[in-house]
Structure 1
């Protein structure tokens, strides 16, 4: 292959990964944009913010439960058709929410969009590492994960801004159009993704018998809750510094998103060089420290701005290495493991609003808003402990076996 051919091939692969990232951006924005539109949607549908807020939990739980089911039912389906079809369903569901005349129709659209997300997320996450050689899996996962990062950094703030200049239906309508466009582009450009062997229900459930996989998935659930419990309630957490200004809060969230983009980009290369264990240990321990400090500086906007950037770098810096770990534990069931990853992630998203609302009621001598980051920090530490426990078994040796050389331990995924 000539240099020109190699360059062309590399660009095509990057384009395909970018399209997968765009699809995940649609899913992620669909999950988070509602949080910034709660009041407007509640007024428009003549209901309460709490009822509309439940749609976040509803959406996340459906994606969590349906992802492994969709992976089983459509195991032999062409990956391109599955992903494009999932995006089309998301677009239709989001369009329904945008024109919903009542809360019932709004929730129907959310449910439909959630099923589309259940089809797309595990398929796209599993497809990404197949587009590059094994030694570049981290880079492939990082590009795909950038979609979720951008959803947090740009999707939710831009959606909120569009609603501020018009109606809450506008950002949802725009998201539906974007989903439809990406579905068509994906169907045309992302072709030849390997399907892999058809795996039965028992084998899929059997993947959960692996101790390392289960511990990693539980760690995903906990770390996702840790992030979302602070992100979703960032308004009360930062209220002393922002004085309730949505504009100042938007800037903080944008800074967080910028940090997330940096963290996602760095984590792919670092994971390929250092391994997932080291990168996750740095990321989660750092995130715990940053979150623990937030209540101490909650009155200083400038300090919070720096903290939000660091938080974004560290929080999103663990996504790729965790996925990398799941892919490497048992490569033959990598697709299954990543579908369970999607389930764990969305369960964490669903639990965060419930936990955060409970903490806001007060925590010991601290007001609820100050306690929220501390709960997030504690959850990050727990997630790190669970993740590292997943390596214990792989390092044990039976009697008569020689211990692995130290350099081998560093190469474990």
Structure 2
């Protein structure tokens, strides 16, 4: 295994952990900073929004910077943001530092994927990308539960120190192991956003945004939703989140095999429908350990299993700009996460947090409508193009 890819994967692991670990320490943050859980939940919103907005902007602004310098700088900003969060004495400082950490992640993630392809043999590029993205997938299964577990023994600040250490280790690895990777051709912001003019692309990206806005709304406030099972114990919560994370990895892998055998439309729709039903019954099944674990596994399989068929659909819509579309899909995911923090924070002020999944189900239902609208547009375009109709109808 190429050690250069491993240090990039470690950076993705750190950023994925930082993204998802907040759900497990939210109650501790709120109590420590003397604020509400709803306001503390905006830590997720600020980080995700910073990432979503700044990823395409920084990719264009920093296009001419040496890749190694950009990666090290990004990790330095990410680590600094988490150190400030760990030392912060009030929520405002935490939120500003979360935006800073999100900026570092926005600079690192797309650059790391680009570097992974440039330093690998052409016939091994897919494997290189999967190695680096495995760090992000692993964060959902291991990073977030481990970080939550650490917070259960120490404080929420211990968790953020853990994340900062991961980022620092990756920074040292990049500095020492990565030489001078090839410089890609610069792409302007206008060029990056040009695919959004295609209604098929726009509707597919909106599907991602609303689906993950619904799926991740409950995750952000998982400590409240599952408190009847965990009784507020962060270590028990970490164990429950482990079910979700492992199921997410399995769902992602299985979806990769399924899209090679079945049409993307079928996989997307089944995942959204099952996820919708699961969220509709979650307020009741989350009161018992066994049924809550089953619901978490189902949720992980459906939620993370949606990524691959969505990517598959985008690539087949416009294969000539596939990298840009995949980057936009990643941005849509983070916008969904940002929205989930805001909407979920408002919802728990109005309704019992145990019923929060019903609000998430509403977003998932709208995502299903958007997915079908995207398919309709794809079919309409394929009919105009003639021979491509049969192929396009699979997406």
Q: Distance in 2 between matches of 1:191 and 1:331?
A: 31
CA distance in 2, matches of 1:140, 1:392: 34
Does the C-alpha gap of structure 1 residues 86 and 230 become closer, same or farther in structure 2, counting only changes over 3 Å? same
2:358 paired residue number:
374
Q: In the superposition, relative to structure 1, how do residues 263 and 144 fare at CA in structure 2: closer, same or farther (>3 Å)?
A: farther
Q: Which residue of 2 aligns with 1:75?
A: 63
What SS class does the counterpart of residue 30 from structure 1 fall into?
helix
Task: Quickly say closer, same or farther: Cα 1:195–1:218, change in 2 above 3 A.
Answer: farther
Q: Of residues 36, 41, 50 in structure 2, which corresponds to 1:53?
A: 41
Name the SS for the 2:21 alignment partner.
helix
In the other structure, the counterpart of 2:190 is 202
| Gap runs ≥5 in structure 1 | 1-10
Question: In 2, Cα distance between the equivalents of 1:212 and 1:281?
Answer: 16
The alpha-carbon deviation at position 31 of structure 1 amounts to 2.2
Aligned-residue offset at 1:118: 1.2
TM superposition shift of 1:90? 0.7
Greater shift in the superposed pair: 385-394 or 258-267: 385-394
Q: Structure 1: how far apart are the matches of 2:27 and 2:382?
A: 60
Distance in 2, Cα, partners of 1:18 & 1:410: 38
Tell whether 2:84 aligns with 1:96.
yes
| CA positional deviation for 1:116 | 0.5
Which among 376, 379, 382 is matched to residue 395 of structure 1?
A: 379
Shift in Å, 1:399:
8.1
Do the aligned partners of 1:40 and 1:168 also contact (CA within 8 Å) in 2?
Answer: yes
Show the counterpart of 2:341.
353
Aligned to 1:317: 305
* 1:216/1:387 contact within 8 Å kept: yes
1:297 has 2:292 as partner: no
Q: Which among 171, 174, 180 is matched to residue 162 of structure 2?
A: 174
CA distance in 2, matches of 1:270, 1:104: 45
- Per the alignment, residue 242 of structure 2 pairs with 254
Aligned with 1:198: secondary structure?
coil
Cα 1:47/1:245, change in 2 over 3 Å: closer
How far did 1:84 drift? 3.6
> Quick one: structure 1 residues 238 and 76, their matched pair in 2 at CA, closer, same or farther if it must change by over 3 Å?
same
> Is 2:317 the partner of 1:329?
yes
CA RMSD of aligned residues (A): 3.3
1:152 aligns with 2:140: yes
Give the TM-score of the pair, scaled to structure 1.
0.81
2:53 paired residue number: 65
Verify the 8 A CA contact 2:378 2:392 in the aligned structure 1.
no
Q: Look up the SS of the partner of 1:197 in the other structure.
A: coil
Unaligned runs of 5+ in 2: none
Residue 27 of structure 1: how far off its partner (Å): 1.3
Of 110, 122, 125, which aligns to 2:98? 110
**Further displaced range: 229-238 or 76-85:** 76-85
2:81 and 2:101 in contact (8 A); partners too: yes
159, 163, 172: which is aligned to 2:151? 163
Report the 3-state secondary structure (helix = DSSP H, G, I; strand = E; otherwise coil) of the residue aligned with 2:271: helix
Give the structure 2 partner of residue 223 of structure 1.
211
Q: In structure 2, what is the Cα distance between the partners aligned to 1:186 and 1:155?
A: 20
Q: Are 2:42 and 2:95, in contact at CA under 8 Å, matched by a contact in 1?
A: no
The answer on 1:339 being equivalent to 2:324 is no
TM-superposed deviation, 1:314? 1.6
* Gap change, CA 1:88 and 1:361, over 3 Å in 2: closer
Distance 1:290-1:117 versus aligned 2 partners, 3 A rule: same
Moved more, 394-403 or 326-335: 394-403
- Look up the SS of the partner of 1:204 in the other structure: helix
Q: Aligned-pair distance for 1:69?
A: 0.8
Residue deviations 1:200-246 (CA, integer Å, cap 9, x gap): 33322322212122112211211111111111222333344445454
Question: 254, 258, 261: which one pairs with 1:270?
Answer: 258
| Counterparts in 2 of 1:332 and 1:73: CA distance versus 1, 3 Å | farther
Pairwise CA distance, 1:288:
1.8
